[in-house]
Protein backbone atom coordinates (compact mmCIF):
# COMPACT_ATOMS: atom_id res chain seq x y z
CA UNK A 1 0.00 0.00 0.00
CA UNK A 2 2.61 2.56 1.04
CA UNK A 3 5.30 1.44 -1.39
CA UNK A 4 3.21 1.05 -4.53
CA UNK A 5 0.35 3.49 -4.02
CA UNK A 6 0.76 6.15 -1.33
CA UNK A 7 4.30 7.31 -2.08
CA UNK A 8 3.89 7.44 -5.89
CA UNK A 9 0.45 9.03 -5.46
CA UNK A 10 1.83 11.95 -3.46
CA UNK A 11 4.68 12.40 -5.95
CA UNK A 12 2.19 12.48 -8.85
CA UNK A 13 -0.01 14.99 -7.03
CA UNK A 14 2.97 17.25 -6.29
CA UNK A 15 4.15 17.06 -9.91
CA UNK A 16 0.66 18.14 -11.05
CA UNK A 17 0.68 21.03 -8.57
CA UNK A 18 4.19 22.09 -9.65
CA UNK A 19 3.31 22.02 -13.35
CA UNK A 20 -0.19 23.49 -13.19
CA UNK A 21 -0.07 25.82 -10.19
CA UNK A 22 -2.18 23.95 -7.71
CA UNK A 23 -5.36 25.45 -6.37
CA UNK A 24 -6.60 24.94 -2.83
CA UNK A 25 -8.36 21.66 -3.67
CA UNK A 26 -5.13 20.17 -5.05
CA UNK A 27 -3.22 21.09 -1.90
CA UNK A 28 -6.00 19.73 0.33
CA UNK A 29 -5.89 16.49 -1.65
CA UNK A 30 -2.13 16.05 -1.27
CA UNK A 31 -2.24 16.89 2.45
CA UNK A 32 -5.06 14.39 3.02
CA UNK A 33 -3.06 11.75 1.13
CA UNK A 34 0.02 12.46 3.25
CA UNK A 35 -1.91 12.39 6.53
CA UNK A 36 -3.62 9.14 5.50
CA UNK A 37 -0.23 7.56 4.82
CA UNK A 38 1.12 8.93 8.11
CA UNK A 39 -1.90 7.46 9.86
CA UNK A 40 -1.28 4.04 8.31
CA UNK A 41 2.34 4.03 9.46
CA UNK A 42 1.40 5.24 12.92
CA UNK A 43 -1.23 2.52 13.32
CA UNK A 44 1.28 -0.18 12.36
CA UNK A 45 3.90 1.12 14.79
CA UNK A 46 1.41 1.78 17.58
CA UNK A 47 -0.21 -1.65 17.33
CA UNK A 48 3.12 -3.46 17.32
CA UNK A 49 4.48 -1.42 20.21
CA UNK A 50 1.43 -1.77 22.45
CA UNK A 51 1.11 -5.54 21.92
CA UNK A 52 1.69 -7.05 25.41
CA UNK A 53 3.32 -10.16 23.95
CA UNK A 54 5.87 -8.15 21.98
CA UNK A 55 6.60 -5.90 24.97
CA UNK A 56 7.21 -8.95 27.15
CA UNK A 57 9.30 -10.76 24.55
CA UNK A 58 11.51 -7.78 23.55
CA UNK A 59 11.29 -5.03 26.19
CA UNK A 60 14.39 -3.24 24.87
CA UNK A 61 12.75 -2.68 21.48
CA UNK A 62 9.05 -2.27 22.30
CA UNK A 63 7.64 0.12 24.87
CA UNK A 64 8.20 3.61 23.49
CA UNK A 65 4.44 4.27 23.64
CA UNK A 66 3.68 5.19 27.26
CA UNK A 67 0.87 3.64 29.31
CA UNK A 68 -0.78 6.97 30.17
CA UNK A 69 -3.74 7.54 27.78
CA UNK A 70 -2.97 11.23 27.17
CA UNK A 71 0.67 10.51 26.48
CA UNK A 72 -0.31 7.61 24.20
CA UNK A 73 -2.55 9.94 22.22
CA UNK A 74 0.21 12.53 21.96
CA UNK A 75 2.71 9.91 20.73
CA UNK A 76 0.20 8.61 18.18
CA UNK A 77 -0.65 12.08 16.84
CA UNK A 78 3.05 12.90 16.67
CA UNK A 79 3.76 9.72 14.70
CA UNK A 80 0.95 10.57 12.24
CA UNK A 81 2.24 14.11 11.69
CA UNK A 82 5.89 13.04 11.54
CA UNK A 83 5.11 10.34 8.97
CA UNK A 84 3.04 12.77 6.87
CA UNK A 85 5.76 15.41 7.13
CA UNK A 86 8.50 13.01 6.08
CA UNK A 87 6.42 11.88 3.12
CA UNK A 88 5.87 15.47 1.98
CA UNK A 89 9.55 16.40 2.45
CA UNK A 90 10.91 13.42 0.51
CA UNK A 91 8.32 13.72 -2.26
CA UNK A 92 8.92 17.47 -2.62
CA UNK A 93 12.67 16.83 -2.79
CA UNK A 94 12.21 14.33 -5.61
CA UNK A 95 9.76 16.58 -7.48
CA UNK A 96 12.09 19.59 -7.23
CA UNK A 97 15.06 17.52 -8.40
CA UNK A 98 12.92 16.17 -11.21
CA UNK A 99 12.16 19.73 -12.27
CA UNK A 100 15.91 20.33 -12.54
CA UNK A 101 16.17 17.18 -14.63
CA UNK A 102 14.98 13.62 -14.28
CA UNK A 103 18.60 12.47 -14.12
CA UNK A 104 19.07 14.45 -10.87
CA UNK A 105 16.12 12.74 -9.20
CA UNK A 106 17.18 9.29 -10.40
CA UNK A 107 20.79 9.89 -9.34
CA UNK A 108 19.63 10.99 -5.88
CA UNK A 109 17.45 7.91 -5.39
CA UNK A 110 19.91 5.43 -6.90
CA UNK A 111 22.99 6.73 -5.07
CA UNK A 112 21.13 6.62 -1.77
CA UNK A 113 19.99 3.03 -2.40
CA UNK A 114 23.42 1.89 -3.61
CA UNK A 115 25.12 3.40 -0.55
CA UNK A 116 22.60 1.68 1.70
CA UNK A 117 23.05 -1.70 0.01
CA UNK A 118 26.86 -1.40 0.11
CA UNK A 119 26.73 -0.68 3.85
CA UNK A 120 24.39 -3.66 4.34
CA UNK A 121 26.80 -5.90 2.38
CA UNK A 122 29.84 -4.52 4.21
CA UNK A 123 28.25 -5.17 7.60
CA UNK A 124 27.17 -8.68 6.58
CA UNK A 125 23.51 -7.74 7.01
CA UNK A 126 22.28 -7.86 3.41
CA UNK A 127 20.60 -11.27 3.52
CA UNK A 128 16.99 -10.92 4.56
CA UNK A 129 15.77 -13.16 7.38
CA UNK A 130 13.13 -14.94 5.28
CA UNK A 131 14.66 -18.14 3.88
CA UNK A 132 13.34 -19.04 0.43
CA UNK A 133 15.67 -21.84 -0.61
CA UNK A 134 18.18 -21.37 -3.44
CA UNK A 135 20.80 -18.68 -3.94
CA UNK A 136 18.96 -16.82 -6.71
CA UNK A 137 15.79 -16.63 -4.63
CA UNK A 138 17.77 -15.42 -1.61
CA UNK A 139 19.46 -12.66 -3.60
CA UNK A 140 16.27 -11.47 -5.29
CA UNK A 141 14.14 -11.60 -2.13
CA UNK A 142 16.82 -9.86 -0.06
CA UNK A 143 17.26 -7.14 -2.67
CA UNK A 144 13.51 -6.54 -3.00
CA UNK A 145 12.90 -6.53 0.77
CA UNK A 146 15.86 -4.26 1.50
CA UNK A 147 14.95 -1.75 -1.21
CA UNK A 148 11.25 -1.69 -0.27
CA UNK A 149 12.07 -1.34 3.44
CA UNK A 150 14.51 1.49 2.74
CA UNK A 151 12.09 3.40 0.53
CA UNK A 152 9.14 2.99 2.90
CA UNK A 153 11.27 4.12 5.84
CA UNK A 154 12.77 7.06 3.95
CA UNK A 155 9.35 8.34 2.98
CA UNK A 156 7.33 7.56 6.11
CA UNK A 157 9.76 6.96 9.01
CA UNK A 158 7.90 3.79 9.96
CA UNK A 159 9.19 3.22 13.49
CA UNK A 160 9.30 -0.58 13.30
CA UNK A 161 12.09 -0.43 10.72
CA UNK A 162 14.48 1.02 13.31
CA UNK A 163 15.32 -2.56 14.32
CA UNK A 164 18.94 -3.52 13.50
CA UNK A 165 17.76 -6.46 11.36
CA UNK A 166 15.71 -4.12 9.18
CA UNK A 167 17.04 -0.60 8.49
CA UNK A 168 18.51 0.09 11.90
CA UNK A 169 21.30 2.34 13.08
CA UNK A 170 22.17 5.51 11.21
CA UNK A 171 19.87 4.62 8.34
CA UNK A 172 16.77 4.98 10.47
Task: Give helix 135-156 / helix 102-122 axis angle, nearest 10°.
Answer: 120
Confidence band for 3, pLDDT divided at 50, 70 and 90:
confident
Residue 84's pLDDT is what?
96
Residues above pLDDT 70, as percent of the chain: 94
What's the pTM value of the predicted model, to 2 decimals? 0.86
pLDDT, average across residues 122-149 = 82
Instruction: Name the pLDDT band for 171 (thresholds 50, 70, 90).
Output: low
Give CA angle at 44 (146, 155), nearest 5°: 50
Cα–Cα dist 94/139, whole Å: 28
Measuring CA to CA, how many Å separate 7 from each of 1, 80, 81?
9, 15, 15
pLDDT of 169 reads 65
Average pLDDT over residues 67-91: 96
Calpha distance 172→169 (Å, rounded): 6
**Do residues 141 and 132 lie in contact, with contact meaning Cβ atoms separated by under 8 Å?**
yes
Q: Is-contact 156 87, C-beta < 8 A? A: yes
pLDDT digits (tens, 9 = 90+) for 16-42: 999 998 799 999 999 999 999 999 999
Given pLDDT bands bounded at 50, 70 and 90, which one contains residue 149?
A: confident
Amino acid sequence: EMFAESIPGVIIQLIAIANNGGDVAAWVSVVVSAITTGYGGAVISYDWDTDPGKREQTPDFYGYVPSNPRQRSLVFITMVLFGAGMLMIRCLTIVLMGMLGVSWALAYICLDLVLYLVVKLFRGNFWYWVSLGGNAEEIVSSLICRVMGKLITDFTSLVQFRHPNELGGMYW
